A and B are shown apart, each in its own frame.
Chain A
Amino acid sequence: MNASHYYLEATVASNISETSRVNTLVLRLSEELKIAPGQFLMVWRPGDGEIPITPSLTMGETLCLTIEKVGFTSSRLASLKPGEKVFLRGPYGNGFNLSLPGRYLLIGGGTGAASLTPSYLSLVRRGVETLFLVGARNRESLVYVRRLRELGAGFQVATDDGSEGFKGTLPEFFMEVSSRNRFENVLTIGPERMMVKIAEKCVEQGVSCQVSLVRIVRCGLGVCGSCVLDPLGLRVCVDGPVFHGEKILGSDFGRFMRDEAGRRVEVVQ
C-alpha cells in the first residue's frame, strides 16, 4: 500500500444481492492493489467499524468483496449503495500456496465459494487441473454461483437438502468426489467444523489440505493477540489466515475462538 496514507479509497460501483444474508460489493479502487489469493484486507467504513475480508475477485482496479451480514459492521458494509466509499488497508496474512505440484480440489462452503474464486481463477489460468465444489444449505443460500457462471468457471454444487446438485454436505460430497478422482491438494474455506472434517479426511488420505480461518482480527499486524489459535500460539492475521490442515488439527481449530473480550468461546459453525 501507498505509505503516504493509511487507507486506500474504494468506491462502490454496484452491490449485488447473493442471498438474503449475503451481498457482493463491486468496488473501484483509487489505485491498483496487489493481493495474493487467500490474503485478506481490513475494510473500514468510518463510524461503522472495520473487519477482515478475503476478496472474492481482484482485477486491476476492480475488487469484489462478498460479505455475509453477521454483525453490525458486516451488515452495514453489505448494505452500501453505489457511490458510497469504503477504505482498505492490507493485504495481510499468508494466502494459499498454489504452487504445490499436482491437481487441486477447491471446496467452498457458503461465502467460502466466493473467497476461493481468486484461487480457482489463478490455478485455471496456469493450466492446473482444478475441480471446484461449492455448497450451501439449499439452493437459495448458494453464494456467488451466478458470478462463477459469468466467469465461465467449471464447478459442482452440493446442497444439504438436495435442492440443487449433490444432496448432502460438502464433506460428504468431497468423499464422493474423491472416491472417483485423485487430488494432491485440497483448498477449503467455509464453516470451521466443515473444514475440520475435510482436513481430517485429507490427513487420512495423505492429501495436502489448506484451510482459511476467520477470527476476530483487530490490528491485523500480529501485535494484539485477539486472533490467536491456542494452544499453538499461531496468530491468524500474520501466521494465517491460511494454514495447512494437519498443522492445526487437534488445536482450537473448529472448537474454540476468542470473543471480543478475549474470552475463549466455542466455534458455533
Chain B
Amino acid sequence: MHPGMEVEVAGLVLRSPLMVASGVLGSSPSLIRIIATNPDVGAVVTKTVTYLPRTGYENPTVVDLGYGFLNAMGLPNPGYSEYRFELGSVKKGLEIPLIVSIGPSDEDEAEEMVEELDSVADGFEVNLSCPHVENLGVEVGSDASKASGIVKAVRGSTGKPVLAKISPNVTDFVANARNAVEAGADAITAINTVRGMAIDVNAMRPVLSNVYGGLSGKAIHPVAVRIVFELYEKIKAPIVGCGGVYDWRDAVELILAGATAVQIGSAIAHSQTGLKVFNEIGEGVRRYLALKGFSSVKQIIGLAHSER
C-alpha cells in the first residue's frame, strides 16, 4: 500500500484516488472482484442499475474512435433486485468500497432501490446524466425539481455516502451540481459522457442504433478539467473527476483542478495493458508527488487554483 495515495471522499476512505468509472466492465461480479485486488484501485463504481431490467439498445451500441468511445448502450442491466443478489456475492471480503450506480426515474423508485441495495453498497452514485435514455439520466438531471427529489429520496434512505453524477450536456452544470448538493449529495462526480454521434461513410447511416450517443475518452478530458475546475470554485462538496483519464498527467490535472478522486473508464479498454493502466497511472502519480516534494495526494487537490 502507498499511504500517500490515500484520500477521503464523503467519508469513504480510499486507498487510491483512482476509481473504476460506472459503465465499464459491466455487471459481472467476478470482474469487480478481480479489479478489487489491484492496489491502485481505490473503489469500484458499478454499472448503472435501474428499477426494472433493461435489455438496452440493439447493436451497434459502441463506436471505437481511437481518441474515445461513442456509446449508446441504453443502460442494459438486470434490474436492481437481481443485481442486489449478484452484488451480495461480491461484497463479501471485498477490500475496497463498492459504490452502486443507480438510475431511478423518480423518488419512489429511488427510495425502494436504495433501501434494498443498502446492505450491499458502501455508497451510491446517482446517475443524473446518462445522455441517451429517455426518462432517465440527463432527462431527470436537467429537471431541477425531479433531480432534487430523487437525491433527497436517496439521501433519506441511506446513511452511506451519496455521489451525484452530473452531465456536461446542460447550459448550467453548476446549478445542477448545487441543486444535488442542496438535496443531500455528499459529492459530485463530473462528468458523464458528452452527446455525440457518428455516421458511417460507406453505409451512409448513423452507426449507433440509437443514433445519438455519449462520447467518452481522451477527447472529453479538457471538458472534464474545465468543469471540475469551475465546480471547485463554486460548490463546497468534494468532486470526483471523470473524463478521459488515460495517463498519470490526466489524473493529476483533474486533481489539481479540484478533484479529490478520479474515475477511469475508457482507458481500460484503450490501454494495451487493460487493468494495469491503474498501476501505470498510480506509479506516475507517486513519481510526480515525490518529484514535486509532496507526501500525499491530498496536498495537491485544487492546487491549480492557488494563484488566483
Contacts and interface: CB of A to CB of B under 8 A. Distances in A.
A7 B205 CA distance: 11
A233 B33 contact: yes
Contact of A263 (B63, B66, B78): B78
A261 B28 contact: no
Nearest to A219: B62
Given A46-B203, A261-B76, A225 B56 contact: no
Given A49-B209, A233-B33, A3 B66 contact: yes
Interface string A42-55: 10101101110000
A3 B63 CA distance: 12
Contact of A260 (B55, B202, B203): B55
A262 B82 CA distance: 10
B77 A262 contact: yes
Interface string B171-186: 0000000000000000
Contacts of B26: 224-226, 228, 262
A221 B269 contact: yes
Given A222-B269, A262-B77, A49 B58 contact: yes
A169 interface: no
Interface string A219-242: 111111110101111000000000
B196 interface: no
A65 to B, nearest CB: 16
B56 A260 contact: yes
Interface string B263-285: 00110110000100000000000
A234 to B, nearest CB: 8
A134 to B, nearest CB: 29
Overall SS of chain B's interface: loop
A50 B64 contact: no
B29 interface: yes
Contact of B266 (A30, A46, A50, A223): A223
Given A218-B59, A218-B61, A263 B203 contact: no
A262 B75 CA distance: 10
A249 to B, nearest CB: 16
A170 B164 CA distance: 54
Nearest to B82: A263
A262 B76 contact: yes
A110 B138 CA distance: 46
Contacts of A50: 58-60
Given A223-B268, A228-B26, A262-B77, A233 B201 contact: no
Interface string A22-33: 000000001000
Contact of A7 (B27, B28, B56, B203): B203
A42 B60 contact: yes
B53 interface: yes
Contacts of A222: 268-269, 274
B200 interface: yes
A150 to B, nearest CB: 31
A225 B59 contact: no
Interface string A176-219: 00000000000000000000000000000000000000000011
A5 B201 contact: yes
Contacts of A225: 24-28, 31, 47
Given A8-B202, A219-B64, 6 more contacts: A42-B60, A44-B203, A219-B69, A222-B268, A224-B24, A261-B53
Instruction: Give me the 5 closest cross-chain CB pairs, A-B, nearest first.
Output: A225-B26, A50-B59, A219-B62, A233-B30, A228-B28
Interface of B: 23-31, 33-34, 47, 53-56, 58-64, 66, 69, 71, 73, 76-79, 82, 86, 198, 200-203, 205, 207, 209, 265-266, 268-269, 274
6 contacts: A5-B202, A7-B200, A8-B202, A218-B62, A221-B64, A223-B269
